[in-house]
Amino acid sequence: MTIGVLQSAALGVALAAIAIGCGDASADDSVAGSGEDTASGELLVFAAASLTDAFGDIEDAFEKAFPDVEVQLNLAGSSTLREQILGGAPASVFASADETRMDEVVEAELIAGIPMVFASNTLTIAVPTANPAGITSLDDFADPPVLVGACAVGVPCGDLSAAVFTAARVDPSIDTYEPDVRSLLAKIADGELDTGLVYVTDVAARADAVDEISLPPGIDIATSYPIATLLDAPNPEAAALFVEYVLSDEGRRILTDHRFGTP
Amino acid sequence: MVPLVVLAAIASLLFVLPLLGLLQRTPWGDLLDIVSDEVVLDALWLSLVTSVAAAILSVVFGVPLAWVLSRYRFPGRHVLRAVVILPMVLPPVVGGAALLFALGRRGLVGEPLYDATGFLLPFSTWGVVVANTFVAMPFLVLTVEGAFSGVDRRFETAAATLGASRYTVFRRVTIPMIAPALRAGVVLAWARALGEFGATVTFAGNLQGRTQTMPLAVFVGLSSDRDAAIAISLLMVTVSLIVLVSLRDRWWPSK
């Protein structure tokens, strides 16, 4: 047992050394610090649905830097994730699409340390390519014949959408409140809906099928993404490394590539 | 016989324990306020209407389908049967997406239909009924087809030799003989439709009063108001139990 721990500790050091050797200089200074820790095994990361593509890339880059860690992403609406964590899911890391959902997990005393904001996001009007319904602004959302989708109130993008509609003084005629932003995006991309409010990062992810109409300044309210390790994390060492990686320059670069704002 | 009883007891626990878990978390004090909320009443009404509609459609179309599958020998019969049963194994969300690709505004049949008439199934109550029927009818077809195959054909032959037309034989002899299976199939189909979530939210969307059934209200409620979600779940359980228990003697084959 002791030998096993020592061995994996040694392996961890070796891996950190490899990471330093291979990674670019900017990533090293932030990631190498915890290199002595034993980071191996499976790491279960609960991440908001809107992080699907960015965290997919971060997972790949992180596993390249720490080949002994097998990252498992559980992607769902932040509210669903919160529900799973409160219900005792064996998550090591929680990345939420807004601070409300994170705060509820903090209040339940399930978070180790303080959550760190690692990204921000804004909403935008998405339309299927070629914009068949001829949407030009948020005002078109009030037009009943137009098929409009929004995220359900109670999930971050739904709360944010409600704030946007209020700020723009638009009373939208919504045809469906989707349980998460990715299902909304899919229906717009398939042309089943004429328009909807999704994150700018989602439009970037489906640029093949979706066009974007920017919201006017003042209406483009931003949401913050906090990340934290869980108190009962089954894999605390890898969890700490992963959070550090997300906050590192390398993590930041990947997030920026996916059009997230970074602090 | 003791081992059998023990195994049966374990099986029962699997179903009783989650129910107890739900009861233990129920916000009894606010229960009446929550379940008399307009959102909940809309969802309850919509769930009852669409699940009953799905059960009726399952009988109208499913009984003939089961009969054809059971009585006719034609190429591709086994494939057709497998395709009909597919919604039972398919994740409902995939079923909903497949319905969208077929009947949506950009779908195989949906697009020409929409261009010609402006009629749109997704995001409408009819869309909910179609999604419910899609997941529910296989239960009826499977149950009834088994019964059709088990019918003693000599009764049908006897009726025919006494001058009954094929349709009369079907209506007066075959159907009464499969009645217990038909009842069971209807109850199964209705129950499946009542609990349907994935195909509905994918195909029909989620809008209060139009497409938001009870399971959808529970799911959306879990995001914002946990107590409400639990109260709605309890309401669903209660409605289902009342129906299943009261149907027991008259509908469900039992002694």
Residue B243 clears pLDDT 90, i.e. is over it: no
Top pLDDT among B179 and A11 is at B179
Tens of pLDDT, residue by residue over B56-93, are 999 999 999 999 999 999 999 999 999 999 999 999 99
From B196's Cα to the closest Cα of chain A, the distance in A is 15
Instruction: Please report residues of A whose CB lies closer than 8 A to that of B212.
Output: 177
Instruction: Please report residues of B whose CB lies closer than 8 A to that of A155.
Output: 223
Cα A225 vs. chain centroid, distance in angstroms? 7
Residue A16 clears pLDDT 60, i.e. is over it: no
pLDDT confidence bin for A221, thresholds 50/70/90: confident
For residue A85, the SS3 value is helix
CA atoms of A80 and A71, how far apart (whole Å): 20
Candidate from A79, A176, A187 with C-beta closest to B223? A79
DSSP 8-state code for residue A146: S
B223·A191 Cβ contact <8 A: no
Q: What is the DSSP string of chain B?
A: -HHHHHHHHHHHHHHHHHHHHHHHH--GGGHHHHHTSHHHHHHHHHHHHHHHHHHHHHHHHHHHHHHHHHH---TTHHHHHHHHHHHHHS-HHHHHHHHHHHHSTTSTTHHHHHHHH----TTSHHHHHHHHHHHHHHHHHHHHHHHHHHS-HHHHHHHHHTT--HHHHIIIIIHHHTHHHHHHHHHHHHHHHHT--HHHHHHT---TTTT--HHHHHHHHHHH-HHHHHHHHHHHHHHHHHHHHHHTTTTS---
Residue B216 clears pLDDT 80, i.e. is over it: yes
Q: Which amino acid is at A223?
A: T
DSSP 8-state code for residue A153: B
Instruction: Please report residues of B whose CB lies closer than 8 A to that of A147.
Output: 105, 120, 123
Top pLDDT among A39 and A167 is at A167
pLDDT confidence bin for A3, thresholds 50/70/90: very low
C-beta separation of A71 from A235 below 8 A: no
Average pLDDT of the segment spanning B18-37: 89
Provide the chain B residues 42-101 that lie in CB contact (below 8 A) with chain A: 100-101
B223·A149 Cβ contact <8 A: no
Q: What is the DSSP string of A87-123?
A: TT---SEEE-SSHHHHHHHHHTT-EEEEEEEEEEEEE
Instruction: Please report residues of B whose CB lies closer than 8 A to that of A132.
Output: none
pLDDT for position A189: 94
Average pLDDT of the segment spanning A97-122: 93
pLDDT for position A80: 86
ipTM of this complex: 0.83
Instruction: Please report residues of A whose CB lies closer than 8 A to that of B101.
Output: 190
Candidate from B206, B211, B222 with C-beta closest to A79? B222
The length of chain A, given as a count of residues = 263
pLDDT for position B5: 95
The answer, for B219 touching chain A at a CB cutoff of 8 Å, is: yes
Residue A29 clears pLDDT 50, i.e. is over it: no
pLDDT confidence bin for B147, thresholds 50/70/90: very high
Q: Nearest-CA neighbor of A152 among B228, B207, B210?
A: B207
B104·A153 Cβ contact <8 A: no
Name beta bridge partners: A261.
A120
pLDDT confidence bin for A78, thresholds 50/70/90: confident
Instruction: Please report residues of B whose CB lies closer than 8 A to that of A177.
Output: 205-207, 212, 220
Top pLDDT among A87 and B83 is at B83
The answer, for B104 touching chain A at a CB cutoff of 8 Å, is: yes
From B10's Cα to the closest Cα of chain A, the distance in A is 24
B104·A192 Cβ contact <8 A: yes
pLDDT confidence bin for A31, thresholds 50/70/90: very low
> Global pTM?
0.80
